[in-house]
């Protein structure tokens, strides 16, 4: 009987974890689709760091929170910004020099782990957001996988199938138990007098 109780608790825990995983991934995927690729939470965007240019400050595969909007000419040396390059790529690097002239405000940036500064100056209109200092290491690998087609398949469909199979097994056990109880209740008593 004790073994049966342990099995019931293990079953509940696994089902709950699968359900939470399913909801989390579904929320991440839906938020990513709605926001155009990057999920947002309380006004902060979550970005995945895919290179080691900012190590050791920001590890490769981390998720970082950045704050979009505001005056993009407000930044100073040592601020970390996320900006869009001419080819549309997002980069998060540290400002090493602020240049203000008649053309406007521009920034010279450099990755903490890079030997030299970036080749091109960053124009203030190209800045997407400011890094807030919030980082979750290595979760970005999971996030990127979850956004891929294989990730969607694996993280949405597989837990759903496992939850369904678990529910079918539970129903089968319950029906078997009920049939056994019904069979036992219908068995006529043995007549000891004969």
Catalytic residues: 51
Residue corresponding to tokens 């000891």: 192
Distance CA 79, CA 183 (A): 75
Measuring CA to CA, which residue among 142, 138, 146 is closest to residue 30? 146
């Amino acid at each position: 009987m004790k073994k049966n109780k342990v099995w019931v608790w293990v079953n509940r825990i696994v089902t709950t974890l699968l359900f939470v995983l399913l909801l989390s991934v579904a929320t991440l995927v839906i938020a990513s689709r709605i926001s155009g690729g990057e999920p947002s939470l309380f006004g902060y965007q979550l970005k995945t760091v895919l290179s080691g240019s900012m190590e050791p400050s920001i590890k490769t595969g981390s998720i970082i929170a950045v704050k979009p909007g505001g005056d993009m000419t407000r930044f100073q040396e040592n601020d970390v910004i996320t900006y869009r390059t001419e080819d549309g790529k997002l980069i998060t690097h540290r400002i090493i020099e602020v240049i203000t002239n008649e053309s406007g405000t521009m920034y010279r940036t450099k990755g903490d782990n890079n030997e030299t500064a970036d080749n091109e100056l960053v124009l203030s209109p190209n800045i997407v957001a400011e890094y807030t200092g919030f980082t979750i290491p290595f979760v970005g690998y999971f996030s990127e996988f979850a956004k891929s087609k294989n990730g969607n398949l694996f993280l949405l469909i597989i837990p759903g199938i496992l939850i369904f199979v678990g529910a079918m097994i539970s129903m089968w056990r319950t029906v078997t138990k009920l049939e056994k109880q019904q069979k036992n209740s219908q068995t006529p008593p043995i007549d000891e007098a004969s």
